[in-house]
Amino acid sequence: MSERNALELGQSRIGLMIDGLPETPRVAVKLSRDESGVEITIPFLDGYDDPYSYWFSQGIAYGDDPDRTERRYEPPTAISFHDVEGSVGLVGSRVSGSTRTFGEVRGEGRLRFDYAVLGAASGQAYEQINGLRSEIEGLGTWVSLRAFEPKQTWERGRLRSVNFTFDSPLTISIARRLNTSFRANWRYASGAGPDETTISGRLQVETNVKRAVDWQEHLRIHLAIRNLLRVVAWRPLDFVSHEASSIKEHFPASQAEQVAGRWLKVITDRTGIKLSAPTQLSDRDFLFSFRDVRAKGVKEWILLAQKFERGLSPLVGLLDLQGASIEAHIAQVGIGFEMLGYDLLIESGSGVPQARKMPYVQLVSVVSSAVAELLPFDADRFDELLRRTYVGVKHADRVPPDWNETLLAYLQAIQVFRAWVGLRLGVPTDRLRQALAYDPRNSQIKEITSQLL
C-alpha cells in the first residue's frame, strides 16, 4: 500500500465504487472521513430505474413492487473503492442518509461503514478477517517489551554515539484463543524534512487464525486487554491504531510473495480510536505491571471479562463517565458491585435462590472481603458506606447522601475493584498491598476520611 493511500479527518477522495453486484455498474462516488467515521456518497437518478436509488428508499412504496421482493433495497455489506491514490475495502455498510431534489430526478445517498481497510483490493475479502493488530495507549510501558534498544557511548561528559539494535518481531504468547499475543515491531521512514529519517517502535496486541472469523471475535479480546490497561492505570486509555490481515484476497502470481501476510491500516469508529496524541505514561502510573501477572494473568483476565461481564462492564465503564455527576458514578458503581457479588456467589457454589435473597451489603462484602487484608482502609465500613450512598442516590424517597461520603464511597470502590482484579490475576499479595498503600487515590481517601471524622 502506497503511503499516499490515506484518509485523514476532513479528507475526501473521488473514485470508482465496485460492489460485486451484477445489476450495478461501476459508479463514481465520493469517499470521505469525519469524526463519525468513513462515508461514501453515491449519486443516482431517481425515477430512471437507477438501482442505487432503491438502496435509499426507506419509507417509499412502489406500486410495481409492493412487497419489495423484485429489487434489491439494501446495499451490500461490503464494497470496494478505487482511485488514483489506491484502493480501500469498506465493510459493514449502513444507510446514513439521502437527498432528493423535489421536482427533479437527481439525488444522492450516503453509506457509512464499520471498517475501512486502506489498501484492500476487495471489501468482500475483509468481511471476516484472519488477523487483527491493535496498538493501545500504555501497553508498551506496562509490558516493557521493545523492538529496539539504544546503547549510548559517552566521552568526557558528551554523548559520542548511539547504537540501535533492532530485533523484530519479538512475541509474547498470551492465550491459545485466536492465538493472542503481544508483538513488538519497528519501522522507519522518511521524515517531514528532506534529510530526516524517523524510527518508531511499538507493541501491539495480535490475534491471528488460519480460518477467518468475524471482526467482533477479534475485537472481544482486544477490548478486554484495553480494559485491563484501563483498570490497572485507572485512566480512559484508548486504542491508537488497528491493522487487519486477510488471506482471501487474490493477486497475480508476480505479486503473491510481496503481499503475503501483509497487514493493512484500519479506520473505524467502532472502538474509540484516539484521534489526538497518545497519552504518555510511566511505570508509576500502573497499580501493577505485566511482570507481576505475566501471560497467565492476562489470559485469566480475558476469561474473567467474559465470565463476569455483567459486573465488570459497568465498573470499567466508569472511565467513560467523564463530566458526569458523582451521583451518576456511584449509581453505576452500585450496579457493578451488585452484579459482581452475585456472580461471585454463583461461582462459589451458591444456588440461584440463595444468591437472589442476599442483601445488597452482603453482595458488596463478597467482593471486598476477598481483598480486605490488602486494603489501606476498613473493608467492613466500606460495605455499609457503599450501601448507604447507593441507596440514597437510587431512591427518590431517601435522604440524599452527603457529597463527601459519596466521593469517599466511590474512591474506595475503585480501589476495592482494582485490588480484586490484581488478586485474581495473580499479583503477589505483598506487592499488591504496597501498591494500594502508595496509590494516589489513597491520599484522597485519607483526606476525605479525616474531614468526615
- Do 54 and 73 form a contact (C-beta atoms < 8 A)? yes
Q: Could you tell me if 151 and 264 lie in one domain? A: yes
Residues with Cβ within 8 Å of 22's Cβ and at least 6 positions away in sequence, in order, are none
- Indicate whether 268 and 319 sit together in one domain: no
Distance CA 384, CA 378 (A): 11
Residues 133 and 122 both lie in one domain: no
Q: Which pLDDT does position 100 carry in this prediction?
A: 82
Query: How far is residue 58 from each of residues 53, 99, 337, measured CA to CA in Å?
Result: 10, 12, 43
How many angstroms separate the CA atoms of 123 and 204, rounded?
A: 24
Q: Let me know if residue 194 belongs to a domain.
A: yes
Same domain, 119 and 223: no
374 and 330 in one domain? yes
Asked if residue 303 is part of any domain, the answer here is no
Answer yes or no: is 254 within a domain: no
Q: Which residue has the higher pLDDT, 308 or 162?
A: 308
Please tell me whether the peptide bond between 169 and the residue prior to it is cis, using omega within 30 degrees of 0.
yes
336: Cα separation from own chain's centroid: 20
pTM for this structure?
0.91
Q: Is residue 318 part of a domain?
A: yes
Residue 132 sits in the same domain as residue 280:
yes
Kindly state whether residues 24 and 117 are assigned to the same domain. Answer: yes
The CATH number for 73's domain is 2.30.110
Would 251 be classed as within a structural domain? no
The more confident residue out of 383 and 166 is 383
Residues 86 and 151 in one domain: no
Residue 447's SS3 state is helix
pLDDT in the model for residue 168: 60
What's the mean pLDDT in 352-380? 96
- Alpha carbon 101 to its chain centroid, in Å, reads 40
User: What would the mean pLDDT of 153-166 be, rounded to a whole number?
Assistant: 75
Please count the residues of the chain.
Answer: 453
The residue ranking higher by pLDDT, 396 or 101, is 396
- Residue 290: inside a domain: no
CA distance 417 to 185: 33
- The answer, yes or no, to whether residue 1 has pLDDT greater than 50, is no
| Model pLDDT for residues 17-64, shown as the tens digit of each residue | 999 898 888 899 999 999 999 999 999 987 667 889 889 988 788 878
pLDDT(85) > 70: yes
Interatomic CA distance for residues 175 and 270, integer angstroms: 24
| Judgement on whether residues 181 and 328 belong to the same structural domain of the protein | no
Strand partners of residue 181: 173, 206
Q: Is residue 292 part of a domain?
A: no
Domain that holds residue 178: 128-242+260-285
Among residues 126, 151, 169, the one where a domain terminates is: 126
Q: Based on the domain organization, do 265 and 341 belong to the same domain?
A: no
**Which of 285, 319, 347 delimits the end of a domain?**
285
Cα-flanking dihedrals φ and ψ of residue 318, to 5°?
-60, -30
Q: Are residues 51 and 178 in the same domain?
A: no
231-242 confidence digits (pLDDT tens): 999 999 999 999
Query: How confident is the model over 104-151, as pLDDT tens digits?
Result: 678 899 999 999 999 999 999 999 999 999 999 999 999 987 655 667
Same domain (yes/no): 149, 79? no
* Phi, psi dihedral angles at 396 (to 5 degrees): -70, -25
Is the pLDDT assigned to residue 441 strictly greater than 90? yes
Report how many domains make up the chain. 3
Rounded CA-CA distance 276/441 in Å is 27
| pLDDT tens digit sequence for 274-314 | 888 888 899 999 999 999 999 999 999 999 999 999 999 99
The reply to whether 3 falls in a domain is no
The strand pair at 12-18 and 78-83 is best described as antiparallel
Answer with the one of 126, 150, 180 that is the final residue of a domain: 126
- CA dist list (Å): 235 to 138, 238, 320, 338, 386: 10, 9, 9, 23, 22
Average pLDDT, the chain: 90
